[in-house]
Amino acid sequence: MTGNKLLSIQGLTTEFPTPQGPLVAVNGVDLEVARGEVLGIVGESGSGKTVLGLSAMGLVGLPGKVTAGRILFDGQDLTRHTEAQWQAIRGKRIAMVFQDPTTSLNPVQRIGAQMIEALQAHRDISKDAAKRMVLEAMVRVGINSPKERLLAYPHQFSGGMRQRVVIATALLNEPDLIIADEPTTALDVTVQSQILRDVRRLCQDTGTAIIWVSHDLGVVAQIAHRVAVMYAGRIVEQGMTNRLLKTPSHPYTAGLIASMPANAERGERLRSIPGGLPQLSNLPVGCAFAPRCPQASAACEVLPELTSTSAEHAVRCVSPLNEAA
Amino acid sequence: MFAFVLRRGMQSVVVLFVMSLIVFSMINLVGDPVDMLVNPESLPDEIERVRRDFGLDQPVYVQYWKFLTGALSGDLGNSFVFGRPALTLMAERFPATLELAICALIIAVTIGLPLGVYAGLRPDGLGARFIMGLSVLGISIPTFWLGLMMIIVFSVILGWLPVSGRGETAVFLGIESSMFTLDGLKHLAMPATNLALFKIAMVMRLARAGTNEVMAQDFIRFARAKGLSSRRIVRAHLMPNILIPIVTVVGIEFGTLIAFATVTESIFAWPGLGKLVIDAIVNLDRPIVVAYLLFVVALFLVLNLVVDIIYAVLDPRVRLQGDEE
Amino acid sequence: MIALSAIRTRPTSYVSGLLIAIIAIAAVFAPLIAPTDPYALATVSILDGRLAPGGEMLDGTIAWLGTDGAGRDVLSAILYGLRTSLTVAISSAAIALTIGLIVGLTAAFYGGRLDTILMRVVDIQLSFPAILVALVLLALLGKGIDKVIIALAIVQWALYARTVRAAAMVERRKEYFEAVTCLELSNTRIIWRHLLPNSVSSLIVLATLQTAHSISIEATLSFLGVGVPITEPSLGSLIANGFDYILSGAYWITFFPGAMLLATVAAINIFGDQLREIINPRLAK
């Protein structure tokens, strides 16, 4: 295995059977994450980004299933793992944070107990020692008077506080990778940027890599080294964050950037991409974005490959923009 | 917590008062209340004497006041059949019914809960379908008929268990019960199982529905993402959450167990409250019927209160609301 | 009718529906179908008493399900008993439904304090088990088919009232309702044309399941000896009748009426569950 590649996803496909035929939520995705790297995954809701994250945790709920591809994590193929092997990885080496902090915590269990069990699931540690570690972790994510908070129930916390608890829990075992599925979307803008900063700082301290999943290119731009753009279950473009934002190659990426509020002129209406996502159980034969694409031509009837344009950049389009760059 | 209990206690007293009004007017509406107080075969002048003695020639509100004060001091009249105070008779019979109901409840929960959780965890499995089919049968089967069939199989054909009666009792920890002797247990087995049957199906359905609902929650997914084992998730996260509704319903249903015990006790000649009241109905022993009615109303109010308290202990969200008020 | 075509595509609902139809026909035409008239004193002979299933009675009729202690053919007694059981269940359901409809719609339409009071009464009644309320009512009312029907109607009306009110409240909250009330239509017309139709589907399901429930309750009451009189036995009275012969091994006198009771109640329950899933698929599973 090449030195610092932590996670390498190859041709990953996740399907959900439906009466209308299989719904392909993740469609032949290739991804790599290096140690300590922050990768952003951007896409609309329904683009398959959440299912991609769940697949990498072995948490796709039935009847969904990973039907093809490999998930190489630190040299092991996770798709071949048994449930017991998965359990040893989950929370210990790969952690996950979900979108809605109000539902991520068990409402009838004390905060402390929910954090301590995350530690005790993976190491033989006394309750007191675990409690000390939990207290430290709570301080690190900025929770005041952690001792009392330990005995509180989730409903006594604000949304931002709960998400801090969730993040602290995810980082307890100093995982190699944390998959964050829109962890700030449900929060106020101010809280959002605080948490963004905190997560970035904490992961830098421990050398934890992050896959930050979001529909918001603006958020991803703040945190990610690299960005992968997903559309209808496929990656349509990936590259370094700055390059991608400045000179997007895929028309869809360009559309996303144009629709960001920060890029709108004062007084101008926000631009949006016309149309909606295609049905995942009934994808068009060629490029899935073609029906909404301003550049679409007859050539788009054939599905383009994800082709590298440089060492750090790849795009899935027959006529990419900004060719010169 | 104390304020919560006090408030609920006050409410119960109000409802009990209203119910005493209803019982009182029901007695007065249906025929001459003198019929309630004297043997139907009494001579006319004796009836007149009783009418005067009990103040039945006085205005209705005076009569109600006497009825109420009598009831409050524990005087609900003497049984025509036994010639002893109705309340004393009921107090003597109550332990046998309580014992039967508690055993039935234990059987219902120990069988129904695991089966329901199992069916809920694998909703599409063959086992789950079988279990749910059984529960439809359990709800439809006439309990009293099943009791008779049990007698035919276990007493008449196999000769394993006694047909009727309570059997030997022994005192353990200051409680006299037939649970503590082999003979007593043998007598208890069939009636308790029979009484439990209906509740098994109910607990099963509640447990399955609760499991379905809770397992789809984000906090279960987060618990899995922490790397917890399935067993730990079921024990620490699923159970506490599904137990809240189950405890509530089972608690309230404890009253219906006492009510249904009338049927079971009649079949197995169990010397409890139910048999007493059925005999009283058949023999037109009205003081016992009235006493039983008031007892049941009081029992249900107490049960509802107890259930609310347990509910509050189990669900921290409710507890907090109670504290704040 | 979406519901009808949905029934056809679901084997469970089809089978249970068919079973209900057969049972209903058997009950209605009992005098024509039954091999003997179990209550004609002239033909019933004590000499036929406790014949095992398949035995031949004095007049040559085969008693396929045996005879009871008095020499009545059990099969015939079941068919007649079914009539009584269904009559009681259906008429009590009809009365309870009517009362429940009136109370529920009134509560939903007028709202406010009237609604609060009515629903509080419903809550209190529903906090007591049906069997207990029926038992106490019969203790006060006395025996008789009419008394049983009244008792069962009183036991059930509250559930109908609550269901109707809940469904009507959903409709009431919709925006058009305000417009309708502004049109100065008569109150009765608003209630019938706008509030009632919305509750029909849930009422059908409830009425189905409640019929099964009241068949059970009636059987239990009759078994305990406080239900229908001996002269018009229901399935419950037949089972009670056989109770005396259990220890002597004449199982068929209790077994077959009970099995019939189970089949009837189970068929209606399953059919009701299926109806609920068809009408409200969201509740399924």
What does the H/E/C string look like for chain A?
Answer: CCCCEEEEEEEEEEEECCCCCCEEEEEEEEEEEECCCEEEEECCCCCCHHHHHHHHHCCCCCCCEEEEEEEEECCEEHHHCCHHHHHHHECCCEEEECCCHHHHCCCCCCHHHHHHHHHHCCCCCCHHHHHHHHHHHHHHCCCCCHHHHHCCCHHHCCHHHHHHHHHHHHHCCCCCEEEEECCCCCCCHHHHHHHHHHHHHHHHHHCCEEEEEECCHHHHHHHCCEEEEEECCEEEEEEEHHHHHHCCCCHHHHHHHHCCHHHCCCCCCCCCCCCCCCCCCCCCCCCCCHHHCCCCCHHHHCCCCCEEEECCEEECCCCCCCCCC
**Per-residue confidence (pLDDT) for residue C92, from 0 to 100:** 93
Contacts of B221 in chain A (CB under 8 A): 59, 61, 98
Contact yes or no for A118 and B226 at CB 8 A: yes
Q: How far apart are CA C278 and CA C270, in angstroms?
A: 12
Shortest alpha-carbon distance between residue C46 and chain B (Å): 24
Shortest alpha-carbon distance between residue B124 and chain A (Å): 10
* Residues B158 and B45 placed together within one structural domain of the fold: no
* Residues B153 and B205 placed together within one structural domain of the fold: yes
pLDDT greater at residue C171 or residue A38: A38
Contact yes or no for C132 and B259 at CB 8 A: yes
Contact yes or no for B224 and A59 at CB 8 A: yes
Burial classification of residue C1, based on how many CB atoms lie within 10 Å of its CB (0-12 exposed, 13-18 middle, 19 or more buried) = exposed
SS3 of residue C57 by DSSP: coil
**Per-residue confidence (pLDDT) for residue B36, from 0 to 100:** 56
Q: Which residues of chain B have pLDDT under 50?
A: 320-325
**Per-residue confidence (pLDDT) for residue B99, from 0 to 100:** 87
CB distance A322 to A247 below 8 Å: yes
H/E run at residue B172: strand B170-172
Q: How far apart are CA B94 and CA B276, in angstroms?
A: 10
At B261, the amino acid letter reads A
Residues of B within an 8 Å Cβ radius of A: 217-219, 221-230, 232, 236-237, 240-241, 244, 314-317, 320
Q: How far apart are CA A224 and CA B234, in angstroms?
A: 36
Residue of B nearest to C270 (CA): B136
User: What are the C-alpha distances in Å from B10 to residues A171, A247, C125?
Assistant: 50, 72, 19
Buried b (16+ CB within 10 A) or exposed e, B206-233: bbbbbbbebbebbbbbbbbbbbbeeebb
Q: By the CB < 8 Å criterion, does B256 face chain C?
A: yes
Contact yes or no for B263 and C224 at CB 8 A: yes
* Residues B51 and B172 placed together within one structural domain of the fold: no
Instruction: Copy the structure tokens of residue C37.
Output: 């008239």
Q: Which residue from B143, B244, B103, B4 is spatially nearest to C129, judged by alpha carbons?
A: B143
At A252, the amino acid letter reads Y
DSSP state of C47: G
Instruction: Copy the structure tokens of residue A167.
Output: 């993040």
In a domain, B192, yes or no: yes
SS3 of residue B272 by DSSP: coil
* Residues B148 and B247 placed together within one structural domain of the fold: yes
CB distance C69 to C50 below 8 Å: yes
User: What are the C-alpha distances in Å from C194 to residues C97, C113, C176?
Assistant: 18, 22, 10
Per-residue pLDDT for C189 more than 80? Answer: no
Could you tell me which residues are beta bridge partners of residue A210? A38, A178
In a domain, B303, yes or no: no
Shortest alpha-carbon distance between residue B245 and chain A (Å): 13
Q: By the CB < 8 Å criterion, does B119 face chain C?
A: no
For A182-196, A247-261, C169-183, which range has the lowest pLDDT when averaged over its residues?
Answer: C169-183
Contact yes or no for C220 and B142 at CB 8 A: yes
Count B/C contacts: CB-CB distance under 8 Å: 116
In a domain, B242, yes or no: yes
Contacts of B218 in chain A (CB under 8 A): 98, 100, 103-104
Beta-carbon contacts of B8 under 8 Å, excluding residues fewer than 6 positions away, are B305, B308, B309
- Name the percent of chain C lying above pLDDT 90: 12
**Per-residue confidence (pLDDT) for residue A46, from 0 to 100:** 77
**Per-residue confidence (pLDDT) for residue C283, from 0 to 100:** 47
Residue where the block lists tokens 């009422």? C203
Q: By the CB < 8 Å criterion, does B143 face chain C?
A: yes
Task: Please give the tally of structural domains in chain B.
Answer: 2
Residue of C nearest to B285 (CA): C139
Shortest alpha-carbon distance between residue C223 and chain B (Å): 8
**Per-residue confidence (pLDDT) for residue C3, from 0 to 100:** 55
In a domain, B83, yes or no: no
**Structural domain boundaries enclosing B175:** 95-271
* Residues B222 and B134 placed together within one structural domain of the fold: yes
DSSP state of C73: B
Per-residue pLDDT for A325 more than 50? Answer: no
For A117-121, B199-203, B257-261, C60-64, which range has the lowest pLDDT when averaged over its residues?
Answer: C60-64
* Residues B128 and B239 placed together within one structural domain of the fold: yes
* Residues B119 and B184 placed together within one structural domain of the fold: yes
Contact yes or no for B227 and A88 at CB 8 A: yes
SS3 of residue C71 by DSSP: coil
SS3 of residue C62 by DSSP: strand
Burial classification of residue C37, based on how many CB atoms lie within 10 Å of its CB (0-12 exposed, 13-18 middle, 19 or more buried) = middle
Q: What are phi and psi of A248, to 5 degrees?
A: -65, 145
Q: How far apart are CA C134 and CA C49, in angstroms?
A: 34
Instruction: Copy the structure tokens of residue A166.
Output: 């969730």
- Domain finish residue from B251, B271, B291: B271
Strands A177-181 and A226-231: unpaired
pLDDT greater at residue B237 or residue A259: B237
CB distance B314 to A108 below 8 Å: yes
Q: How far apart are CA A197 and CA B40, in angstroms?
A: 88
* Residues B58 and B153 placed together within one structural domain of the fold: no
Instruction: Copy the structure tokens of residue A71.
Output: 């998930």
Global pTM value: 0.75
Beta-carbon contacts of C123 under 8 Å, excluding residues fewer than 6 positions away, are none
* Residues B237 and B142 placed together within one structural domain of the fold: yes
At A178, the amino acid letter reads I
In a domain, B285, yes or no: no
CB distance C57 to C63 below 8 Å: yes
In a domain, B197, yes or no: yes
Inspect the structure and tell me whether chains C and A have 3 or more CB pairs less than 8 Å apart: no
Nearest to B221 among A98, A113, A118 (CB): A98
Identify the CATH number of the domain in which residue B157 sits: 1.10.3720.10
Q: Detail the DSSP E strand segments found in chain C.
A: 55-56, 62-63
User: What are the C-alpha distances in Å from C158 to residues A106, C103, C163, C165, C210?
Assistant: 37, 9, 9, 11, 12
User: What are the C-alpha distances in Å from B68 to residues A219, B19, B74, B212, C211?
Assistant: 71, 11, 10, 49, 38
Q: What is the ipTM of this complex?
A: 0.82
In a domain, B20, yes or no: yes
Q: How far apart are CA C165 and CA C101, in angstroms?
A: 8
**Per-residue confidence (pLDDT) for residue C91, from 0 to 100:** 93
**Planar angle of CA B104, B110, B115, nearest 5 degrees:** 120
* Residues B141 and B34 placed together within one structural domain of the fold: no
What residue ranges define each of the domains in chain A, with the CATH number in brackets?
A: 2-104+175-224 (3.40.50.300)
* Residues B201 and B125 placed together within one structural domain of the fold: yes
Strands A38-42 and A226-231: parallel
pLDDT greater at residue C220 or residue C174: C220
**Ranges of H-type helices in chain B:** 2-29, 34-37, 44-53, 60-72, 86-121, 126-140, 143-150, 182-215, 218-225, 230-232, 239-268, 273-282, 286-314, 316-324
CA quadruple B146, B149, B155, B156: dihedral, nearest 10: 170
Contacts of A108 in chain B (CB under 8 A): 240-241, 244, 314-316
Contact yes or no for C129 and B260 at CB 8 A: yes
Q: If you average pLDDT over every residue of chain C, what do you get?
A: 81
**Planar angle of CA B191, B196, B200, nearest 5 degrees:** 155
- Domain finish residue from B39, B72, B105: B72
**Per-residue confidence (pLDDT) for residue C100, from 0 to 100:** 92
**Per-residue confidence (pLDDT) for residue C177, from 0 to 100:** 66
SS3 of residue C44 by DSSP: coil
Q: Tell me what the mean pLDDT of segment C204-220 comes to.
A: 89
Count A/B contacts: CB-CB distance under 8 Å: 82
* Residues B104 and B68 placed together within one structural domain of the fold: no
**Per-residue confidence (pLDDT) for residue B323, from 0 to 100:** 41
Residue of B nearest to C257 (CA): B145
Residue of A nearest to B312 (CA): A108
Q: Tell me what the mean pLDDT of segment A127-137 comes to.
A: 86
In a domain, B65, yes or no: yes
Per-residue pLDDT for A265 more than 80? Answer: no
